[in-house]
Amino acid sequence: MFSAVHIYFALAALFATVPHVIAGSFTYNNESFLLNGEPYQIRGGQMDPQRIPRAYWSNRLALARGMGLNTVFSYPFWNKLEPRQGHFDFSGMNDMAEWYRQVHDAGLQAVIRPGPYIDGEHEWGGLPAWLSEVPGMAVRQNNQPFFDTAKSYIEALANELNGSFIPQDGPILMVQIENEYGFCGSDHTYTNALKDIYTAAFDTIFYTNDGGSQSALAAGAIPGVLSEIDGNPHVGFAGRNEYLNASNRGPNLDGEYYTTWLDTWGENSTHNHDTTNPAEVGGHVQLVSSIQSDIDFILANQSSFSLYMFHGGTNWGYQNGGDGGGGSPLMADTTSYDYGAPLDESGHITPLYLGLRQTIFSHLNETLPPIPKQNILVDVPSFTLTPSIAMFDALPAPVHMKYPVNMEALQQSYGFILYRTNMTTAVNGTLQPGDYPRDRVLVYVNGERAGVMDYSYGNSSVVTLSLKECDILDLLVENMGRICFGCPTIFDQRKGVVGNVTVGGIVLVDWEIYSLPLNDPPSSESKYGLVSTNTSSPPIFYTASFSLSSVGDTFFELPGWIKGIVWVNGINLGRYWIVGPQQSLYMPGCYLKTGANEVTVLALEVNGANTARGVSNRTWGNNPDPDAP
Ligand SMILES: *[C@@H]1O[C@H](CO)[C@@H](O)[C@H](O)[C@H]1NC(C)=O
Ligand SMILES: *[C@@H]1O[C@H](CO)[C@@H](O)[C@H](O)[C@H]1NC(C)=O
Ligand SMILES: *[C@@H]1O[C@H](CO)[C@@H](O)[C@H](O)[C@H]1NC(C)=O
Ligand SMILES: *[C@@H]1O[C@H](CO)[C@@H](O)[C@H](O)[C@H]1NC(C)=O
Ligand SMILES: *[C@@H]1O[C@H](CO)[C@@H](O)[C@H](O)[C@H]1NC(C)=O
Ligand SMILES: *[C@@H]1O[C@H](CO)[C@@H](O)[C@H](O)[C@H]1NC(C)=O
Ligand SMILES: *[C@@H]1O[C@H](CO)[C@@H](O)[C@H](O)[C@H]1NC(C)=O
Ligand SMILES: *[C@@H]1O[C@H](CO)[C@@H](O)[C@H](O)[C@H]1NC(C)=O
Ligand SMILES: *[C@@H]1O[C@H](CO)[C@@H](O)[C@H](O)[C@H]1NC(C)=O
Ligand SMILES: *[C@@H]1O[C@H](CO)[C@@H](O)[C@H](O)[C@H]1NC(C)=O
Ligand SMILES: *[C@@H]1O[C@H](CO)[C@@H](O)[C@H](O)[C@H]1NC(C)=O
Ligand SMILES: *[C@@H]1O[C@H](CO)[C@@H](O)[C@H](O)[C@H]1NC(C)=O
């Protein structure tokens, strides 16, 4: 398994005339990772480039090194890299080769975790939505269509990363296969086939990462592949000692040491706590001193770690995943992926950063280096937005279908989809928007709001309608993010309407279906102008221009607004929702300019709120959901 790497190293040394190639080698024995033959303790932290503005990559990497990390762990997001089957996009934030050039330039090594399933609180754990429409597809299973699509992705990624691995003077040391598969299945036929795809594409060493229990390790380990753990390092390292078979053994790596935790909409914040105060911690919120003590244990143990997350970043646009599924309500992840990480969403250091920096440098016997500079945060004074376009006045051309079809069937992956029918008969009764709401269904009759069904509440939101002949019924369905965690990922993740729409048990037919991906705000050719709004009206796009005399990052607040999307200068910053805990959207200065900046806000529900502002000091908190059943 390691021979090819060694041969490359040997050849590179032999042909020393080849310029600029200072090839390295990476392998391991039972006790240590070995970089160029020397023991290498991985002091890692996770940062995913596709969650960080590209203009800020080098700054965030410098801050990682400034805390004493030597290795960056990253998930690439397959769904962003292959947005349509066979069409790859390695530009902008998807430029993985550039990310690894910058990792290298920052003096860091790297570990890449390409999945193809990654979880990561990312939309469907990184799986592209179009997989749902591939005939015979069964994701994360022993299934030829899944292997075929996964192979094509892994090959494209490997081709892109040719030059990014350690024998080629790149920073990448090793590659993770799958992600916590032991929490989902135990089919070694599946994991062995994935291993074959990986070994054909990458000339490197591989590992798997699972929970530290016997069952998770036995289900997730692949014969002949290094098996590592995540979570509590005391439990996980002991579990590795006790349960692993010889061919899975090697040095200890806690591949995901959780610094804090993810946030889902409507849940209490993990961020409203003082992590230096014992009275305020519990659950996933730990004292800084207890995190320091775990990292201290790992370092003294001659073991390795990766902080999950070192820096979380942002689920831009519609890229958040969700928990739940498989018969449980949806718990969609928030736009912010701050995670309570040492480096916060805006790239600012926290007490945890300072604490870990102390711990790590004490083990290195080095004096603390200066902390790299952090971005400037600015305030933007409150300004008023103007209602400019009603969503239903700016619809694209529809497709006509007798029965509804799901979003993916129209080659749409994210955003919204509108189903409209003109009633041919009168019907009364409860609305069933397909098999269940996927995920949030705003209901209108003749352009007036008639209710909301939201799968955050399971099947408990009920809308009862009394429809006359020639009434126009609209169902505006929001995809709030596909399930990313655990085994529900293998179940049907289609969005929009799946099945028939019924009212009082009567199947409604003859639909106009409008695909509304809304990655961008409405184009300037749309019918902009002052539109009238009231609390029963369909969604409205508000616009405004705000002026900056100097550029900086800010947290964009929308006081009192209920739910929607924000764009600044055409860039989709993601969803806001009054329920919190997220109460502001990270607006990076690299997307702003001095002078006028254009902001568009989609208000899915109109309630009179019409101001916004930027704050340099964000707050977290929860509010009641006005649409809760
Ligand atoms: C680790 O030790 C076991 C038995 O002690 C041996 O079979 C295995 O090959 C060793 N693994 C490595 C990577 O050296
Ligand atoms: C990687 O790049 C080198 C040099 O350009 C080329 O010779 C080699 O075939 C490439 N390998 C793969 C797997 O594409
Ligand atoms: C070790 O190997 C045995 C026999 O193949 C298998 O049953 C067991 O699950 C393996 N244990 C782990 C932790 O992989
Ligand atoms: C959220 O957690 C904080 C800290 O434990 C607590 O003070 C607060 O009451 C909680 N809020 C809700 C809405 O549960
Ligand atoms: C590391 O921790 C494990 C599990 O607690 C223990 O078995 C091992 O002896 C420790 N190694 C060192 C070098 O401290
Ligand atoms: C909602 O209803 C559908 C259809 O009956 C069912 O499949 C699903 O499990 C239900 N969800 C919950 C959370 O009860
Ligand atoms: C740091 O210093 C201590 C005590 O002198 C020594 O035992 C340890 O090996 C040193 N660690 C490193 C990483 O140099
Ligand atoms: C629906 O309910 C309304 C109001 O109760 C009633 O006037 C109408 O006749 C009902 N229509 C049908 C089709 O049952
Ligand atoms: C509110 O909007 C509805 C639907 O467009 C309309 O019928 C109604 O007249 C509006 N009311 C006011 C006060 O503007
Ligand atoms: C609904 O259908 C009726 C009967 O065909 C037609 O008169 C009416 O104009 C339609 N309404 C709309 C908004 O298209
Ligand atoms: C929708 O209803 C029609 C008519 O009742 C039926 O033929 C069709 O099978 C239904 N579709 C689904 C997906 O249930
Ligand atoms: C930020 O806001 C919090 C809560 O309102 C406050 O306690 C803190 O002092 C503020 N920090 C700064 C730097 O203004």
Residue 73 has pLDDT above 70, yes or no: yes
pLDDT in tens, 389-434: 999 998 999 999 999 999 999 999 999 999 999 999 999 999 999 9
Give the model's confidence band at 2: pLDDT under 50 very low, under 70 low, under 90 confident, else very high.
very low
Q: What pLDDT does residue 331 have?
A: 97
Paired residues of 547 in beta bridges = 596
What is the per-residue pLDDT for 11?
38
- The answer to whether residues 100 and 161 touch, using CB atoms and an 8 Å cutoff, is yes
pLDDT surpasses 80 at 321: yes
Sign of CA dihedral 316, 318, 324, 330: positive
Pocket test for ligand 7, best of 43, 361, 365 (most atoms within 8 A of CB): 365
Task: Give the pLDDT band (50/70/90) at residue 327.
Answer: confident
Considering every ligand atom, which ligand is closest to the CA of 533? Answer: 9
Residue 328 — φ and ψ, nearest 5°? -105, 155
**Ligand that lies nearest to the alpha carbon of residue 466, given by its number in the listed order:** 8
116 cis-preceded (ω within 30 degrees of 0): yes
Average pLDDT, integer, range 36-56: 98
pLDDT band at residue 241 using 50, 70 and 90 as cut-offs:
very high
Pairing of the two strands 399-401 and 563-568:
unpaired
Q: Tell me which of 22-31, 558-567, 580-589 is least confident.
A: 22-31
What per-residue confidence (pLDDT) applies to 6?
40
Contacts of residue 431, defined as CB under 8 A and 6 or more positions apart, other chains included, come to 443, 451, 453, 463, 464, 465, 501, 502, 503
- Dihedral pair phi/psi, residue 614, rounded to 5°: -115, 135
pLDDT given for residue 22 in this prediction: 53
State the Cα–Cα distance between residues 597 and 612, nearest whole angstrom. 13
Task: Please give, one letter per residue, the 3-state secondary structure of 276-334.
Answer: CCHHHCECCECCHHHHHHHHHHHHHCCCEEEEECCECCECCCCCECEEEECCEEEEEEC
DSSP 481-506: --B-SSGGGGS----B--S-EEETTE
> How many angstroms does the Cα of residue 193 sit away from the middle of ligand 7?
44
pLDDT band at residue 12 under the 50/70/90 scheme = very low
Which ligand is nearest to the Cα of residue 474, counting in written order?
10
CA 445 to chain centre: 35
Alpha-carbon distance of 552 to 119, in angstroms, equals 32
Which amino acid is it at 401? Answer: M
Judge if the beta carbon of residue 436 lies within 6 A of ligand 6.
yes
Q: Considering the chain, what percentage of its residues have pLDDT values greater than 90? A: 91
The token duo for 98 is 């550039």
The residues lining ligand 1, judged by C-beta closer than 6 Å to any ligand atom, are 28-30, 246, 249-250
* Selection from 556, 568, 565 nearest residue 605 by Cα: 565
Judge whether 280 counts as a catalytic residue: no
Is 256 among the residues known to form the active site? yes
Q: Which residue's alpha carbon is at the smallest distance from atom 7 of ligand 1?
A: 246
Measure the CA dihedral 126/129/133/137, to 10°. Answer: 20
Token pair listed for 205: 């060493």
User: Could you tell me what percent of the chain has a pLDDT over 70?
Assistant: 96
**Residue among 121, 228, 256, 557 flagged as catalytic:** 256
What letter represents residue 32's amino acid? S
Domains of the chain, earliest start first? 4-364 (3.20.20.80), 380-389+522-615 (2.60.120.260), 395-516 (2.60.120.260)
Half-sphere exposure of 414 (CA within 13 A, CB side): 25
CB atoms within 10 A of CB 124: 25
pLDDT higher than threshold 80 for residue 19? no
DSSP 520-564: SPPPTTS--S-----TTS--EEEEEEEEESS--BEEEE-TT--EE
The answer, yes or no, to whether residue 48 has pLDDT greater than 80, is yes
Of residues 545, 540, 495, the one with CA closest to residue 522: 540
Mean per-residue pLDDT, 35-56:
98
Distance (Å, rounded) from C-alpha 280 to C-alpha 255? 27
Q: Can you tell me the mean pLDDT for 471-489?
A: 97
Q: What is the pLDDT of residues 301-316, one digit of tens each?
A: 999 999 999 999 999 9
pLDDT at 4: 39
Q: Is 241 helix (H, G, I), strand (E, B) or coil?
A: helix
- pLDDT interval class at 159 (50, 70, 90): very high
Kindly give the distance from the C-alpha atom of residue 349 to the centroid of ligand 10, in angstroms, as a whole number. Answer: 60
Please list the residues that pair with 400 across neighbouring strands.
512
619 Cβ closer than 6 Å to some ligand 12 atom:
yes
Q: Is 192 in the pocket of ligand 4 (CB under 6 A)?
A: no
SS3 per residue for 391-435: HHHCCCCCEEECCCCEHHHHCCCCCEEEEEEECCCCEEEEEEECC
Radius of gyration of the chain (CA): 25
The predicted model gives 545-552 an average pLDDT of 96
Report the length, in residues, of the chain. Answer: 629
Give the number of C-alpha atoms closer than 13 A to the C-alpha of residue 111, restricted to the C-beta side: 31
Q: With contact defined as beta carbons under 8 Å apart, do 43 and 35 qualify? A: no
109, with CB counted inside 10 A (0-12, 13-18, 19+), is: buried
Amino acid (1-letter code) at residue 248: N
Lowest-confidence pick of 21-35, 330-344, 603-617 = 21-35
Q: Rounded CA gap, 40 and 35, in Å?
A: 6
pTM to 2 decimals? 0.94
Which whole number is the average pLDDT over 43-56? Answer: 98
- Enumerate residues 6+ apart whose C-beta is below 8 A from 218: 182, 186, 243
Nearest to 558 by CA among 579, 585, 533: 585
How does residue 268 score in pLDDT terms, banded at 50, 70 and 90?
Answer: confident
Q: Span 584-602, mean pLDDT?
A: 98
Question: Which residue, by CA, sits nearest to atom 10 of ligand 8?
Answer: 428
